[in-house]
Structure 1
Amino acid sequence: MPQMAPMSWLFLFSMFSIALILFTIINYFFTIYQPISSSEETSLPKISLNWKW
């Protein structure tokens, strides 16, 4: 689309930049982290791999 005016490109760039920044802020502040309790850590099986070369 080379016929578009430079102001239109600037508007599109600013719109997508603001959308990207808002999306990353929303993902950063609204994620709910579930901390791993110590009982879940001990229940995981530990597999030791003995490589015989």
Structure 2
Amino acid sequence: MPQMAPLYWLMLFFFFLFILSLFFMMNYFISPFEKKDHALKKPDIHFKPWTL
């Protein structure tokens, strides 16, 4: 029924917003990589910084 299409899209929109907020919350609370402090650590012998 075409009358129900707006409700269907509204449910999909809320589902999308929920998944998007879940993604951002997981990225905020669960760090995807280790943050390394290069200022305190002596660089490796094989460490070559990017230079242009």
Place the TM-score, normalised by the shorter chain, in its bin: 0.5 to 0.7
- State the alpha-carbon separation in 1 of the partners of residues 23 and 12 from structure 2: 16
- State the alpha-carbon separation in 1 of the partners of residues 7 and 36 from structure 2: 47
Structure possessing the higher radius of gyration over alpha carbons: 1
Cα deviation 1:3-22 (Å, max 9, x = unaligned):
46110010000000100000
Residue 21 (structure 2) aligns with? 21
TM-score normalised according to structure 2 size: 0.59
TM-score normalised according to structure 1 size: 0.58
Structure 1, gaps ≥5 residues long? none
Structure 2, gaps ≥5 residues long? none
Identity percentage of aligned residues: 34
Aligned pair count reads 45
Q: Secondary structure at the match of 1:36?
A: coil
